[in-house]
Structure 1
């Protein structure tokens, strides 16, 4: 199966934990840049690219998060919200005007792998993101995500192995990078990302809610995952690697890396349209008690409720999304999920 399978093309074209809103510049990118003399024809081309950036329709994204410990002794989830990732980079290709990044990490065996990924993965991504103009931006963004996951995993395993005793933590990862109006979702494990898209329903003029999966689950019961583990000398018992590990791809889990557990993410791409309302990123704690369609419909129903009380300074829309995110996490706990539950709700507007 092609790692880079894209989602269907859009049907309509378009002309709790702390929330981190910015990040310092990577050390490697700090310092003065040498000014170069630019010929007149280069200036003309740069002006054309700048005009293209202005005309390109970039959505406005706002992130909301709810985290619940459930019945676990420790909160092992971590997350990050960067609606403006431009602050992490010193330069961007001229055709790119805006970056955003949202991610949820579901730890197991401890919270160190998930917290490490939440702190470091986006910084590594900023270092590796293309900085010059290129015709192959899509290909380079995907390569950048693959390299970022590999580097984050290697960096954590190096730190984990240096401890005494060595850390055995691991973490899933579901990361959403938005480049202008293009969404790239890279994921490991069983945390998931789903998109709510509204579509016309017949000739009546009404709209129906369509749920699109933006991620792919990785567990050892899936044929391709099980075969890789068995070829590497591992076994799958009771749906788990060696009867213990519930996922087949992760960051960390050093003791399982030699038997086929990998940190290579699946990557899916989707262009946002004015019909898109929101994206849910959540750990499996939510999806143990909600199907993707149920979670999306639950949020839609709350967004249609105009009686929500909002915090000071919030708009009505912000209050609705905040309430929907918090209530979705609460409902997962109420339905009996004993696991940690972390939900990120990202509103989309053009």
Structure 2
């Protein structure tokens, strides 16, 4: 990994942390309002001691809110400086070609070429200045464990006045010699400025890295809290991305927390929902599958599909953490790359038929998505490893994701889940497999694992399933060659680098299906395609596939435990007629 890529990864992680701090600020704001209502109720009951306690809590929450915002602001300033450094690196690299072009133009006397070259350079420099022109300083603060008596009394009086209540017990006034609030704030600000100056004197780099690692820990803890505090998992806010301002989150009404449908603001202009998700728990224990369908991803008619099959003691946690986190990582990384390489327009998506014949995504766009996927998957795996509340030694998840941008698909595959494409031909409906099942039995995967001293063999009672084991222990017996998590095996050939492929859609392509191995173990590609195509509606397609797989498990393996079954269906256009699947 080059220095430039490392720097961009650091910028991404800092932006993520800043968003987490802003989310905490909003949470504190809600809690402050709740405490104010408690003050009102306590005053109504004549409980002045209780009212005072609630007022102190309210003030404390307000201070916490401001401190979170200040810290997020400071972090944004750090990100701005890092962005400036990245842009300066880009400018330095372009200087060599600029000088060479100018030298050539001077030799030929081509003034027009000289002017165009300088315009190109100045445009890059202006873009860099716009990004660097950010907040250079911000106030800092710390959450006080005590609250000034005057503020408590003032808040209680304010609440009483707002609701027309009479305070039954007189509120003491602050001492006459108390330091005025503005003077105290000014003195504190001066003290903070002095401390910041001293920090800069000792070296800005030390302070930057210290802040960075502290906030990464905060982020990891908060990600875990989002997972565990609320039994119904809510998708992490997609606030970092440039192309999606916000998201309206809608969970499908399937009665579980394993599948999530997200409708971004970019998809709100009358685009119908042409997709469905469904998950059913097997008989092995808790449902460790997770899935997402994000409509309006990156652009108005863009989509993101993801399927995640967890395994191990904490597989159910890992799969949902990845589902909730990966889409925002992909978008933020893609937008950072687009910012570093400006002039992105319709031509870059193959929209200009005169130049690109409207057939393929440009090499530039595919390379950006390819790099975004690799980088986002690495960051995702790193976050899981840094999460102190999560033991991922022998727990992990697969991942199959599809990014649809207009008529182009970028597919990223990690593990043994699978994606297929339903395509109409002259002979009927054909199922096209979009991914390769990355299992230890695959020669290239087995070679990498054995080269890293990992062992591969099958158990006596299931000779058809090759598994990965530690060099000196018969653990854990992983049935896939790539995965998020499973950190005890990361030194023995298990990797989290996805296999990325590309597909250009045509008018013959009808739908995409992503499913965990609970489906593919009992149904073939063409059987799944046939079920989807014959479903009553787009909304019923995913459930129909799951029901078909459950029935097949009972018929084919009546004595075996049924695996978790999860499906995502994305229809590319309204179905016109049902056709027969190719034999």
Compute the TM-score of the two structures, normalised by the length of structure 2. 0.44
CA distance in 2, matches of 1:19, 1:279: 25
Q: Deviations over 1:283-322 (max 9, x none)?
A: 00000010111111122233xxxxx4xxxxxxxxxxx122
CA distance in 2, matches of 1:28, 1:322: 30
Contact 2:244–2:297 (CA<8 Å) still a contact in 1?
no
Shift of 1:251: 0.5
2:481 to 225, 234, 248: 248
Residue pairs, 1:266-281, within 5 angstroms? 266-281=499-514
CA distance in 2, matches of 1:142, 1:158: 25
* Structure with greater Cα Rg: 2
CA distance in 2, matches of 1:172, 1:339: 15
Q: Which has the higher strand share?
A: 1
| Structure 1: gaps spanning 5 or more residues | 1-16, 32-58, 87-95, 202-207, 303-307, 309-319
* 2:433 pairs with 1:221: no
Say if 1:327 and 1:98 are closer, same or farther in 2 by CA, change over 3 A: closer
* 2:302 pairs with 1:99: yes
* 2:368 pairs with 1:156: no
SS of 1:321 mapped into structure 2: coil
* 2:565 pairs with 1:349: no
* 2:347 pairs with 1:120: no
Say if 1:164 and 1:155 are closer, same or farther in 2 by CA, change over 3 A: closer
Shift of 1:323: 2.2
Shift of 1:29: 9.9
**Structure 1 vs Structure 2 CA RMSD:** 2.7
Contact 1:240–1:247 (CA<8 Å) still a contact in 2?
yes
SS of 1:335 mapped into structure 2: helix
Q: Where do 4+ consecutive residues of structure 1 move more than 6 Å?
A: 17-22, 27-31
Say if 1:270 and 1:61 are closer, same or farther in 2 by CA, change over 3 A: farther
* 2:553 pairs with 1:325: no
* 2:108 pairs with 1:108: no
CA distance in 1, matches of 2:517, 2:328: 25
1:334 corresponds to: 551
SS of 2:238 mapped into structure 1: coil
Say if 1:21 and 1:157 are closer, same or farther in 2 by CA, change over 3 A: closer
Q: Which has the higher contact order (CA 8 A, sep 6+)?
A: 1
Q: Which has the higher helix share?
A: 2
Contact 2:276–2:568 (CA<8 Å) still a contact in 1?
yes
CA distance in 1, matches of 2:331, 2:368: 13
Contact 1:61–1:349 (CA<8 Å) still a contact in 2?
no
CA distance in 2, matches of 1:269, 1:298: 25
Shift of 1:83: 1.0
CA distance in 1, matches of 2:434, 2:233: 23
1:80 to 277, 292, 298: 292
Say if 1:282 and 1:166 are closer, same or farther in 2 by CA, change over 3 A: closer
1:140 to 364, 368, 382: 368
Say if 1:328 and 1:151 are closer, same or farther in 2 by CA, change over 3 A: same
Shift of 1:180: 1.4
2:397 to 155, 171, 182: 171
| Structure 2: gaps spanning 5 or more residues | 1-230, 246-270, 349-363, 459-465, 555-561, 575-583
CA distance in 2, matches of 1:119, 1:288: 26
2:454 corresponds to: 234
Shift of 1:237: 1.2
Q: Deviations over 1:98-148 (max 9, x none)?
A: 431110100001212111110110111111014333551111111111111
Shift of 1:73: 1.4
Contact 1:20–1:80 (CA<8 Å) still a contact in 2?
no
Shift of 1:349: 1.3
Say if 1:104 and 1:290 are closer, same or farther in 2 by CA, change over 3 A: same
Contact 1:61–1:348 (CA<8 Å) still a contact in 2?
no
2:27 corresponds to: none
CA distance in 2, matches of 1:30, 1:298: 34
Say if 1:79 and 1:18 are closer, same or farther in 2 by CA, change over 3 A: farther
SS of 2:553 mapped into structure 1: coil
CA distance in 1, matches of 2:234, 2:420: 22
CA distance in 2, matches of 1:138, 1:28: 19
1:301 to 534, 537, 548: 534
SS of 1:322 mapped into structure 2: coil
* 2:283 pairs with 1:71: yes
Say if 1:148 and 1:288 are closer, same or farther in 2 by CA, change over 3 A: same
2:431 corresponds to: 211
